[in-house]
Amino acid sequence: MNELDALVESARAGFAQAATPADLENAKAVYLGKSGRITELMKGMGSLSVDEKKTRGAAINQAKQAIEGALHARRQALADAELEAQLKAEALDVSLPGRQRGQGGLHPVSLTLERIESIFGSMGFDVAEGPEIESDWFNFTALNTPADHPARSMHDTFYVEGGSADAPNLLRTHTSPVQVRHALQHVEQHRALSDTGQAMPEIRVIAPGRTYRVDSDATHSPMFHQCEGLWIGENVSFKDLKFVFTNFCRAFFERDDLVLRFRPSFFPFTEPSAEIDIQFQSGSLAGRWLEVAGSGQVHPNVVRNMGLDPERYIGFAFGMGLDRFTMLRYGVNDLRLFFDGDIRFLTQFR
């Protein structure tokens, strides 16, 4: 074997020994670097004749190309090995169950709210909203419940900053204040009409939302949901209340044979007042009277606080518990389940 072939062989062996790309670059420097073996051989040609230079140069070039070829082959082999190792380390276990994208759904109380809005919507009711932090005036006084009224004691709530010392602002204890708020807006909107003595368009509205009281057990929560209803016009009577609420309950529970009972009761803001009970004719709750709402003909003092003449305008109001309606519809017996956020409970309503 001549000297050049031996050089190529030793380069091959050197490259083969390099275990990493860095080792390989060091091995390369020995042969192809600035003061590497090939460069040295080139330098050594200075003393040769022109003919000798030709043959010697060609031979050295051939050796150089062979070494470069070996270098590239080894580089490729090392890169392949590295990729192979990486693929092995990051191998996918295709037998693992895939990650699923959970499908969300509405909360059962929201489903009830949607149902209520669509049923009352079909009977021409708008939807209004009011603030959860309410003034003493709208929550009580405007609803014919002055400061010393005993009915206030049933509405113990959370007081917040604002208002006056003897009448601080509070978290509303019911959605009834929205009756007055909405009516005042409605009256303002149609002031031009009433100034000419013409009749104002009827107020027909529901007002759902969060309400608060200091109460906590299986059927009471400090935060709960109510939905208010109000229908005021020149000729709206208790008969209309019975018709509207009966149709609503039958549509909501999808039971045509559902029976309603209007039981005399007391609320400061209605006169006469009634508690509304319902009775299913079949199923696990059949035969029991279940209280679902308070209602009544809006008290003249409240009509006046709405900016309307109680001699001309009359109507009814009702207030129901959204959580209670949800419990009855789905057969849930503990209100607290609605507020625990337990996904196993909530996904059942999807």
Q: Least distance to ligand DAH from the beta carbon of 176, Å?
A: 4
Taking CB under 6 A as the criterion, which residues in 186-245 touch ligand DAH? 228
**What minimum distance in Å lies between the beta carbon of 329 and ligand DAH?**
20
Q: Which stretch binds ligand DAH (CB under 6 A): 41-49, 247-255, 314-322, 337-345?
A: 314-322
CB of 191 to ligand DAH, least distance (A): 25
**Per this entry, what is the length of the chain?**
350
For residue 241, the minimal CB distance to ligand DAH (Å) is: 9
Give the interface segment with ligand DAH, choosing from 121-129, 214-222, 238-246, 317-325 (CB under 6 A).
Answer: 317-325
- Of the candidate residues 174, 181, 186, 225, the single one contacting ligand DAH (CB under 6 A): 174
Q: How far is the CB of 96 from ligand DAH (least distance, A)?
A: 53
What is the pairing mode between strands 203-212 and 126-127? parallel
What's the min distance (Å) between Cβ of 278 and ligand DAH? 16
State the alpha helices, DSSP H only, in the chain. 3-17, 21-32, 37-43, 50-89, 108-122, 136-139, 177-189, 191-195, 238-253, 300-305, 322-330, 337-340, 343-346
Q: Is 176 in the site for ligand DAH (CB under 6 A)?
A: yes
Q: Are 12 and 24 spatial neighbours (Cβ–Cβ below 8 Å)?
A: no
Say how far apart CA 166 and CA 163 lie, in whole Å: 8
Note whether 267 binds ligand DAH by CB under 6 A: yes
Binder among 319, 322, 323, 335 for ligand DAH (CB under 6 A): 319
Which is closer to ligand DAH, CB of 5 or CB of 156?
A: 156
Query: Rounded to whole angstroms, how far apart are CA atoms 69 and 26?
Result: 16
The residue range among 93-101, 104-112, 192-200, 294-302 that interacts with ligand DAH, by the rule CB under 6 A, is 294-302
Query: Residue 51: helix, strand or coil by DSSP?
Result: helix
Amino acid making up residue 331:
G
With CB under 6 A as the contact rule, the residue among 245, 313, 318, 338 that binds ligand DAH is 318
Q: Which of 31, 296, 301, 322 binds ligand DAH (CB under 6 A)?
A: 296
Q: Which of 21-29, 46-54, 163-171, 290-298 is the region at the interface with ligand DAH (rule: CB under 6 A)?
A: 290-298
Size of the site for ligand DAH (CB under 6 A): 11
The residue (of 71 and 292) whose beta carbon lies closer to ligand DAH is: 292
Q: Which long-range contacts (CB under 8 A, 24 or more apart) does 101-109 make?
A: 103/350, 105/346, 105/347, 105/349, 105/350, 106/349, 107/338, 107/346, 107/349, 108/326, 108/330, 108/332, 108/338, 108/346, 108/349, 109/225, 109/322, 109/323, 109/326, 109/338
The nearer residue to ligand DAH, 15 or 212, going by C-beta atoms, is 212
- Give the residue with the Cβ less far from ligand DAH, 18 or 276: 276
Please say which residue, 157 or 176, places its beta carbon nearer to ligand DAH: 176
Token representation of residue 343: 């996904």
SS3 content of the chain, % helix, strand, coil (to 5): 45, 20, 30
270 near ligand DAH, rule: CB under 6 A: yes
Pick from 295, 301, 305, 326 the residue near ligand DAH by CB under 6 A: 295
State the Cα torsion 157-162-163-165 to the nearest 10°: 80
C-beta of 205: minimal distance to ligand DAH in Å? 11
Contact criterion met (CB below 8 Å) for 45 and 56: yes
- Asked whether the beta carbons of 199 and 187 are under 8 A apart, the reply is no
Distance CA 227, CA 113 (A): 8
Q: Which residues bind ligand DAH (CB under 6 A)?
A: 174, 176, 228, 267, 270, 294-296, 317-319
